[in-house]
Amino acid sequence: MREISPLQKERLNYKPKLAGVLANGINSIKLTLGEKTSAQGDVEEIKKLFPAVFNKPIAKFDTTGESLSTEQKNVGVILSGGQAPGGHNVIAGLFDALKDADSNNKLYGFLGGPSGIVEGKYIELTGDIIDKYRNTGGFDIIGSGRTKLETQEQFEKALVVCKNLNIKAIVIIGGDDSNTNACLLAQWMAQNNTGITVIGCPKTIDGDLKNDQIEISFGFDTATKTYAELVGNIQRDANSAKKYWHFIKLMGRSASHVCLEVALQTQPNITLIGEEVEAKKQSLDEIVSYMANIIATRAKLGKNFGIALIPEGLIEFIPEMKVMIASLNDLTAKLENNSEYQNASNEQKYQIITSKLDENSAKLFNSLPSSIKAQLLMDRDPHGNVQVSKIETEKLLIEMIKTKLSKMKEEGKYDGKFSDQAHFFGYEGRCAMPSNFDADYCYSLGYNAFALIQSNLSGYLSSIKNTTKPASQWLAGGVPLTMMMNMERRHGEIKPVIKKALVELDSPVFKELEKNRETWAMNDCYIFPGAIQYFGPSDVCDTTTITLQLEQEKKLLNV
């Protein structure tokens, strides 16, 4: 028997709020189709690759419009990629919707991620199973995986499995790459007249899967609040002991949204934003000098302590590092089957790599500590990119800052004491119990996904908007996956992918950080958010992220 904590017991009983019209029940929802859509970029190429699902209209659900299908449908669900708080509630919302529509409908969960549908590994998700996972963190109800669905053989095997289970729709819960795969699957299912609908749900704690139709990816709210609690705890400790500089790396491989949101919640002394570093073309040395100068200035004030937030993907935003890493990604792809390279020692690998890099990249590579070189050459992620989460950027910066401060001390520009602590907060936020916002949002995304299925709209992403308002005012609908796509280089090849949303330096979110940065650097303006609250005043437990509030306020002002 599974042991559960008192808090989890209470959370199992929480009743998520449904978005707007969805609260009326699946059989009362009506569909309205809006304007047709294009793509984020490379329009002709995307249209050529996805002819069956391209140029589809925005979908909106309301109390007027076209009635949804009442056909009995079995559905398969897949959890894809890294975990994010709220995944279980997406499945719970999907389950409740399909059972509300027809008690004979069945939901099958494919085990271990996308590979489950290819290998025919699944369980039927019943009410008894679902009820044990409502409002809980993690993806352990069926597990997740990172298998890419992109080949003819995979699609054919998936079709056989679906036919055997009489599955008429597949819901893929994942991030930008997982939903790119959902689009590829939707295209194949449509062009082969299988009658199987494919729907995606927007998941990623990194916050980089968003646009005008997708205001926020699920998990971002919970993860940033979890990290903010941890950062707040460390800030309280730093303010108490007054002897350590804490360098905290936060998850966010390709965008700095997590770091930015946590900074707004906690107000640390230093916050690095990768997109800013790239825009200003800052070198590694310039970043180190910026941080060292703040440390030295605080030391003059008698403050030999502080907090620095560092985005996980920082190293790839530094122009000189980005060029080098892009070359490394291409080189390692080419050397994947080279036995001489694969059997070489680390030092021999460094020599082989250096001989194939251009002069500037080779010089930079050789200037790095051996530990960082080794981390840069580790196995690539499933998309062919360096695994930046395994690069100890925070420790690299610490070592370089020590060297810089030592030189400044010799020049009489620094007379403080520098003691450091390094942290990386990543997995701590991925499986936290979902906040009230994520519990409600995810439940609505899943319920809404079935409304898209009953609308026979394939190749769509479940969309819930107006999310800074109470759930009763949220707007439900769907956005074509092709609308978010462009062509990018992956594994050394140009491929269709959903375009990541990066931090925009002219956004109200970044401007809020920029406005306060100097004040936070020298003064101890620390905020201690505390644990995520589930029970209490609405202005404590039902608030959304600062990021979402600022973004939506700007949109309202522009209306």
CATH number for the domain spanning 448: value is 3.40.50.450
The answer on 234 and 208 residing in a single domain is no
Q: Does residue 493 surpass a pLDDT of 90?
A: no
Q: Does residue 1 surpass a pLDDT of 50?
A: no
pLDDT band at 383 (very low <50, low <70, confident <90, very high): low
pLDDT band at 559 (very low <50, low <70, confident <90, very high): low
State the DSSP string of 319-335: HHHHHHHHHHHHHHHHT
pLDDT band at 4 (very low <50, low <70, confident <90, very high): confident
Residue 502 resides in a domain:
no
Residue 326 resides in a domain:
yes
The answer on 269 and 365 residing in a single domain is yes
Predicted local distance difference test score (pLDDT) of residue 2: 59
Residue 7 resides in a domain:
no
The answer on 172 and 227 residing in a single domain is no
Whole-number percent of the chain with pLDDT over 90: 86
| pLDDT, tens digit, 9 for 90 and up, residues 197-238 | 999 999 999 999 999 899 999 999 999 999 999 999 999 999
The answer on 213 and 236 residing in a single domain is no
Higher pLDDT, residue 384 or 375: 375
pTM here is 0.93
Residue 16 resides in a domain:
no
The answer on 343 and 288 residing in a single domain is yes
| Average pLDDT for 367-379 | 86
The answer on 71 and 194 residing in a single domain is yes
Predicted local distance difference test score (pLDDT) of residue 336: 84
358 DSSP 8-state letter: -
203 DSSP 8-state letter: B
CATH code (residue 413) = 3.40.50.460
Residue of 97, 100, 170, 91 lying closest to 129 (CA atoms): 91
The answer on 355 and 298 residing in a single domain is yes
Give SS3 for 542. coil
What span, in angstroms and rounded, lies between the C-alpha atoms of 488 and 262? 29
Residue 464 resides in a domain:
yes
Side-chain half-sphere exposure of 282, counting CA atoms within 13 A = 21
pLDDT band at 555 (very low <50, low <70, confident <90, very high): confident
Give SS3 for 30. strand
Q: Does residue 353 surpass a pLDDT of 50?
A: yes
197-202 and 167-174 beta bridge pairing: parallel
The answer on 123 and 54 residing in a single domain is yes
- The domain containing residue 397 runs over which residues? 222-427+507-554
Among the listed residues 177, 206, 221, 440, the single catalytic one is: 206
The answer on 398 and 288 residing in a single domain is yes
Contact 118, 149 (CB under 8 A): yes
* 96 catalytically annotated: no
| Average pLDDT for 122-127 | 98
Residue 269 resides in a domain:
yes
The answer on 148 and 170 residing in a single domain is yes
Average pLDDT, the chain: 95
Residue 391 resides in a domain:
yes
Predicted local distance difference test score (pLDDT) of residue 442: 98
Predicted local distance difference test score (pLDDT) of residue 369: 80
The answer on 512 and 367 residing in a single domain is yes
Q: Which residue is listed with tokens 């997109």?
A: 275
Q: Does residue 257 surpass a pLDDT of 60?
A: yes
| pLDDT, tens digit, 9 for 90 and up, residues 401-424 | 999 999 999 999 999 999 999 999
Structural domain count, the chain: 2
Predicted local distance difference test score (pLDDT) of residue 448: 98
Q: Which residue is listed with tokens 């926020």?
A: 216
Contact 438, 221 (CB under 8 A): yes
Residue 72 resides in a domain:
yes
The answer on 247 and 151 residing in a single domain is no
